[in-house]
């Protein structure tokens, strides 16, 4: 199935945004305003719900006109795009979002046409699937590791580097004992949660000259 690569699922959703000329500010602007204040670290809704490796939300205002001799055309609706890369199956993932972060989902998709709310889990899943686009080609650089496995591996890599640096030239019997103890301690340590460790950037950037 093109939506999947190994154990990873590539979800693409286009939700039409309510077009209400009486709404002030407009619904698309309200989504943008909310997203601008939404945490991107371990307090992100995608960190609080299980399974998301990377995800983005984009308000798509219109299609793009590339100039003559192409025809100029425009969309009748603006769309909220969700692009997500997660572990497992679609129903479980959407259900997990509805279970863990219903308020955030309602704050975002509440501005979209026919959104039923996240309180009704099955209605939410059905709505998202009605807005889903099938991926034509999906590429995942690592497609056989879950998010917990990846977070653990990153933690392990850092700890192993320290261990090797601090145990150079050690006598073998002591090295062996300390290695066994190191592995036991590493396994008992909590894994850093998803979304942790980034730096806060006051200025949202990512322009084309970067």
Partner 1 sequence: MSNINGKVYAMNAITPMKPWKTWILRGFFFVLGRVKPLQQDLINLSFIEFARWVVLPRRGFPFLGNGQKREELQYDYLLFFSNFNGTWNQYIDAFSAVLSRGLNLIWRWSEKFPGSVPVTPFKNYIAQVQFDTDYYYTAYPRATANDLKSAHIVQASLDALSLRAQDYTPAQFEEAYLHFVIQVQAHLGETGDAPVVF
Enumerate the β-bridge partners of residue 85: 10, 54
Rank residues 95 and 192 by Cβ distance to partner 1 and give the closer one: 192
In whole angstroms, the minimum distance from the beta carbon of 137 to partner 1 comes to 4
Quote the least distance from Cβ 99 to partner 1, whole Å.
18
Q: How many angstroms separate the CA atoms of 63 and 165, rounded?
A: 54
Give the binding-site size for partner 1 (rule: CB under 8 A). 93
Query: Binding mask 17-46 vs partner 1 (x if CB under 8 A, - otherwise)?
Result: -xx-----------xx--xx-x-xx--x-x
The interface mask with partner 1, positions 133-162, x = CB under 8 A, is xxxxxxxxxx--x-x-xxxxxx-xxx-xx-
Q: Pick out residues in 187-206 that bind partner 1 (CB under 8 A).
A: 194-195, 197-199, 201, 203-206
| Strands (E) located in 61-105 | 79-87
Q: Using CB under 8 A, which of the segments 63-71, 88-96, 118-126 binds partner 1?
A: 63-71
Pick the closest to residue 10 from 58, 41, 53 (CA basis).
53
Query: For partner 1, which stretch binds (CB under 8 A), given 52-60, 92-100, 117-125?
Result: 52-60
Gap between the Cα atoms of 119 and 102, Å rounded: 7
């Amino acid at each position: 199935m093109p939506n999947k690569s190994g154990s990873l699922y590539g979800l693409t959703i286009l939700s039409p945004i309510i077009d209400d000329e009486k709404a002030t500010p407009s619904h698309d602007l309200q989504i943008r305003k909310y997203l601008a204040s939404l945490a991107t670290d371990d307090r992100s809704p995608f960190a609080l719900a299980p399974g998301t490796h990377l995800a983005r939300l984009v308000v798509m205002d219109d299609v793009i006109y590339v100039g003559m001799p192409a025809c100029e055309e425009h969309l009748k609706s603006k769309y909220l795009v969700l692009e997500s890369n997660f572990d497992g199956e679609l129903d479980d993932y959407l259900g997990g979002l509805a279970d863990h972060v219903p308020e955030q989902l309602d704050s975002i998709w509440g501005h979209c046409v026919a959104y039923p709310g996240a309180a009704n889990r099955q209605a939410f899943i059905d709505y998202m699937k009605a807005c889903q686009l099938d991926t034509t080609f999906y590429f995942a650089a690592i497609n056989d590791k879950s998010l917990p496995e990846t977070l653990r591996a990153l933690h392990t890599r850092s700890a192993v580097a320290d261990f090797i640096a601090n145990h150079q030239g050690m006598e073998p019997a002591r090295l062996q004992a300390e290695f066994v103890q190191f592995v036991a301690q590493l396994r008992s340590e909590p894994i850093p949660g998803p979304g942790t460790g980034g730096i806060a950037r006051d200025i949202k950037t990512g322009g084309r000259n970067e």
